[in-house]
């Protein structure tokens, strides 16, 4: 930051006047200087946008603004060519927060892949994160001009995004038989430069790419639920899959359950299950299987797929609320994406703060598809026949210079990601509840108290954590109500530092009474609809090395929605997906006691049972350790 001050001369002070007035010896009048004109202003973190942000009028749009406390590029076109030593003053509430010298147009950052410069007459500077605050404005002064009028800058929340990589290491995959370094795969082989590029891609104030607290999900075999009219089956090698998508779907379902169990469904965290599997039919040292797809439930915060950055970008885009851009553009009911065929034709130029380069919406000249795309009618062309990139929600690969690991989102989709991040709850050690939510009316993060809606039909206290970063055991199970051979099992439990959400111990009468599913004596139990979403018929019993035990109701099963005592149709049909159910749950890890046995107890209509009936219930599945 350049801090400027005025300096005086060293004369005696009487050269211009004798202090007696008069025309001959008086001080000549000082000519008023012209105020400097800012003829154009743009700011950028991920895209070049007007100072007040970008807005759209189509369905499901969101404004794109700067995020607070993140470096921002400022571009200014000044109305005078002879300006000398221009300086930007950052103002807030009438005070000057800082002064920064502008860099001349000749030193404007370059464009990706030696592309066309963004401009030839733009002065620039990087506004440091500490000055990017709601309520700021910028004005420019110069040696030979008076100060300009201020330009107000719209700045949103200071947000955080935690991108958590959870490798699914399957079928005995090792460093030796995959050619990978599985330790590096905990963050999808991202070195520091790749992580900086990732952080520059997503529109949060801070982006942290990390290994999921679970570490890795390791399984020598996976149960594939009933699909396409076929029964559940067990695979221990990729070549045994009837369809490669089956494994991706299953991994996504388990990752979703793990995300839920860790209290992260409403939080500013995304979990990506990066699948690393081997094909034992391959007769060579490297048996790594190609995982050629991905899947996510839109807005869930969870995705799964291959361990490439294209799949990561695309599936986590879904996880943060995005659909397929081409389909959204062509939506017959109402257009949900503004740019033709899911491309970025019409989107603002991008800017990558990690590489300090502009990114043209057109494909970079050094991109692998730069020439090929011109004869492929899936790409939009400009008047000179040059291809526009596709939004990553249509195609997330091969439109960039090879040094870029991550494609360029459209400004429109970036805005929607920004909205998703800002709308999530974040962990906050300064909050009385350990959680904070963004209060747009106050433009501030405030203490957030989890709320239980719909009588806990979809979880207690929004499935947000009551305890954070504590020792837990994560237990994952899948169960076949149709008794399909091999389709019921516990996966290996994992002990780690995680979170605990509120669950129900059915041996504690006070807890069990909360989930009684009907009004009693004119009073509604606190969690009355907890069992209305598919029932409460199974209880997990965990036995530890010190002889202690824990019981927990497993929410959901095979009942009809809203009818907790009526089985749904198809739940005993081995060919029907409704006959398979998976769960994940975190339980406290205390006193260094190790898990010795996991048991799934058959406790139908658990709210009717006594503690004795629960503890003596039939065991339908067990695993010892």
Q: State the DSSP H helix or E strand holding residue 261, giving kind and residue range, or none if neither.
A: helix 244-261
* Residue 30, pLDDT score: 52
CA distance 303 to 317: 9
The answer to whether residues 129 and 223 belong to one domain is: no
Residue 510 lies in a domain: yes
CB 544 within 8 A of CB 596: yes
The mean per-residue pLDDT over the stretch 74-89 comes to 96
Residue 205's closest CA among 330, 320, 46, 2? 46
234 in a structural domain: yes
Query: Which domain covers residue 77, as residue numbers?
Result: 38-152
Per-residue pLDDT band for 131 (boundaries 50, 70, 90) equals very high
Is 15 within the bounds of a domain? no
Q: Beta partners for 296?
A: 303
Within 354-482, residue ranges assigned H as helices are: 411-423
* Total Cβ atoms within 10 A of residue 331: 14
Residue 62 sits in a domain whose CATH number is: 2.60.40
User: Are 45 and 194 members of one domain?
Assistant: no
**Is 238 among the annotated ligand-binding positions?**
no
User: 309: number of CA atoms within 13 Å, CB side?
Assistant: 20
Q: Decide if pLDDT at 462 tops 50.
A: yes
- Is residue 404 a part of any domain in this protein? no
pLDDT at residue 513 in the model:
98
The CA distances from residue 299 to 303, 425, 611, in Å, are 10, 14, 39
CA–CA dist 361, 380 (Å, integer): 11
Q: Give me the active site residues, please.
A: 315
In-domain check, residue 327: no
pLDDT tens digit string along 355-367? 999 999 999 999 9
pLDDT of residue 4: 29
pLDDT at 284: 96
Q: Do 319 and 299 touch, CB atoms closer than 8 A?
A: yes
% pLDDT > 90, the chain:
93
For residue 234, give both structure tokens.
């067990």
Instruction: Check residue 111 and report its DSSP letter.
Output: B
- The answer to whether residues 241 and 186 belong to one domain is yes
pLDDT at 101 (0 to 100): 98
Find tokens 């007696």 and name the residue.
Answer: 20
Q: Quote the mean pLDDT of the chain.
A: 95
pLDDT-based confidence at residue 92 (cuts at 50, 70, 90)? very high
The answer to whether 324 is annotated as binding is yes
Confidence grade of residue 27 (pLDDT, cut at 50, 70, 90): low
**289 in Cβ contact with 238 (< 8 Å):** yes
* Residue 239 assigned to a binding site: no
Residue with tokens 């300009």: 148
68 lies in some domain: yes
Whether residue 119 is found in the same domain as residue 181: no
Check residue 32 and give its pLDDT: 63
Please check whether residues 45 and 166 belong to one and the same domain. Answer: no
Task: Verify that 146 and 171 share a domain, yes or no.
Answer: no
Give pLDDT tens digits for 500-542: 999 999 999 999 999 999 999 999 999 999 999 999 999 999 9
Do 185 and 54 fall within a single domain?
no
Q: What does the pLDDT look like over 147-166, one tens digit per residue?
A: 999 999 999 999 999 999 99
- Cβ proximity of 456 and 480 under 8 Å: no
The answer as to whether 28 is a domain residue is no
Evaluate whether residue 365 is within a structural domain: no
Shared domain for 138 and 247, answered yes or no, is no
Query: Residue for token digits 């975190």?
Result: 586
Q: Which two tokens stand for residue 396?
A: 């997330």
Helix (H) or strand (E) holding 550: strand 549-554
Q: pTM (2 decimals)?
A: 0.93
Reported as a single tens digit per residue, the pLDDT across 178-191 is 999 999 999 999 99
Residues 460 and 605 in one domain: yes
Mark whether 170 and 117 lie in a shared domain.
no
| pLDDT at residue 493 is higher than 90 | yes
SS (H, E, C) 497-523: EEEECCCCCCCCHHHHHHHCCCCECCE
Q: Are residues 533 and 592 in the same domain?
A: yes
Q: Of 106, 129, 152, which closes a domain?
A: 152
User: Of 121, 152, 183, which closes a domain?
Assistant: 152
pLDDT, residue 23, reads: 43
Q: Total domain count for the chain?
A: 3
Both 611 and 477 in one domain: the answer is yes
pLDDT at 31: 56
Name the pLDDT band for 174 (thresholds 50, 70, 90): very high
| Predicted confidence (pLDDT) per residue in 576-601, tens digit | 999 999 999 999 998 889 999 999 99
What Cα–Cα distance (Å) separates residue 360 from each residue in 38, 364, 387, 412? 24, 7, 11, 15
Report whether pLDDT(265) > 70.
yes
Parallel, antiparallel or unpaired: strands 160-170 and 269-277: parallel
């Amino acid at each position: 930051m350049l801090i400027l001050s005025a300096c005086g001369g060293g004369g005696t002070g009487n050269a211009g006047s004798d202090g007696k007035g008069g025309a001959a010896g008086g001080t000549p009048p000082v000519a008023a200087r012209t105020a400097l004109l800012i003829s154009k202003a743009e700011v950028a973190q991920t895209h070049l946008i007007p100072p007040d942000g970008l807005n759209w009028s189509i369905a499901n749009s969101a404004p794109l603004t700067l995020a607070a406390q993140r470096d921002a590029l400022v571009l200014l076109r000044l109305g005078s060519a002879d300006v000398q030593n221009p300086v930007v003053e950052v103002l807030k509430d009438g005070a000057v927060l800082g002064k920064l010298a502008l860099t001349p147009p000749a030193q404007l950052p370059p464009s990706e892949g030696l592309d066309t410069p963004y401009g030839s007459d733009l002065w620039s500077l990087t506004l440091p994160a500490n000055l990017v605050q709601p309520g700021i404005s910028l004005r420019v002064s110069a040696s030979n001009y008076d100060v300009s009028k201020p330009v107000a800058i719209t700045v949103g929340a200071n947000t955080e995004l935690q991108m958590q990589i959870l490798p699914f290491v399957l079928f005995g995959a090792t460093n030796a038989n995959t050619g990978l370094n599985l330790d590096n795969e905990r963050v999808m082989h991202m070195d520091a430069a790749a992580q900086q590029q990732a952080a520059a891609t997503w529109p949060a104030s801070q982006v942290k790419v990390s290994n999921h607290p679970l570490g890795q999900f390791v399984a020598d075999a996976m149960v594939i639920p009933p699909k396409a009219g076929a029964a559940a089956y067990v695979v221990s090698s990729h070549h045994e899959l009837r369809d490669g998508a089956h494994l991706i779907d299953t991994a996504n379902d388990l990752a979703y359950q793990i995300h839920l169990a860790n209290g992260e469904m409403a939080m500013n965290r995304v979990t990506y299950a990066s699948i690393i599997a081997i094909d034992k039919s391959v007769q060579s040292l490297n048996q790594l299987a190609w995982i050629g797809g991905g899947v996510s439930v839109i807005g869930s915060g969870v995705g799964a797929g291959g361990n490439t950055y294209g799949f990561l970008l695309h599936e986590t885009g879904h996880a943060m609320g995005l659909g397929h851009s081409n389909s959204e553009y062509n939506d017959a009911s109402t257009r949900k994406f503004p740019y033709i065929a899911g491309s970025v034709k019409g989107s603002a130029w991008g800017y990558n703060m990690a590489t300090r380069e502009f990114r043209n919406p057109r494909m970079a000249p050094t991109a692998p598809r730069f020439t090929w795309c011109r004869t492929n009618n899936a790409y939009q062309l400009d008047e000179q026949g040059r291809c526009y990139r596709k939004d990553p929600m249509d195609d997330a690969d091969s439109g960039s210079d090879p040094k870029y690991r991550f494609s360029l989102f459209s400004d429109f989709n970036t805005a929607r990601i920004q909205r998703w991040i800002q709308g999530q709850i974040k962990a906050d050690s300064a909050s009385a509840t350990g959680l904070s939510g963004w209060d747009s009316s106050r433009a501030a993060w405030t203490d957030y108290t989890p709320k239980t809606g719909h009588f806990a039909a979809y979880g207690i206290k929004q499935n947000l954590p009551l305890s954070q970063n504590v020792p837990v055991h994560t237990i994952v199970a899948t169960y076949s109500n149709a008794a399909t051979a091999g389709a019921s099992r516990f996966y290996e439990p994992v002990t780690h530092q995680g979170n605990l959400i509120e669950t129900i111990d059915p041996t504690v009468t006070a807890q069990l009474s909360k989930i009684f599913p009907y009004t009693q004596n004119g009073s509604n139990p606190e969690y009355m609809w907890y069992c209305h979403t598919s029932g409460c018929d199974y209880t997990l019993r965990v036995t530890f090395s010190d002889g202690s035990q824990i019981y927990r109701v497993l929410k959901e099963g095979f009942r009809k929605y809203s009818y907790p005592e009526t089985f749904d149709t198809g739940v005993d049909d081995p060919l029907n997906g409704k006959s398979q159910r998976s769960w994940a749950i975190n339980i406290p890890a205390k006193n260094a006691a190790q898990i010795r046995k996991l048991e799934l107890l058959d406790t139908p209509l658990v709210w009717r049972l006594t503690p004795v009936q629960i503890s003596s219930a039939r065991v339908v599945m067990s695993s010892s350790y």
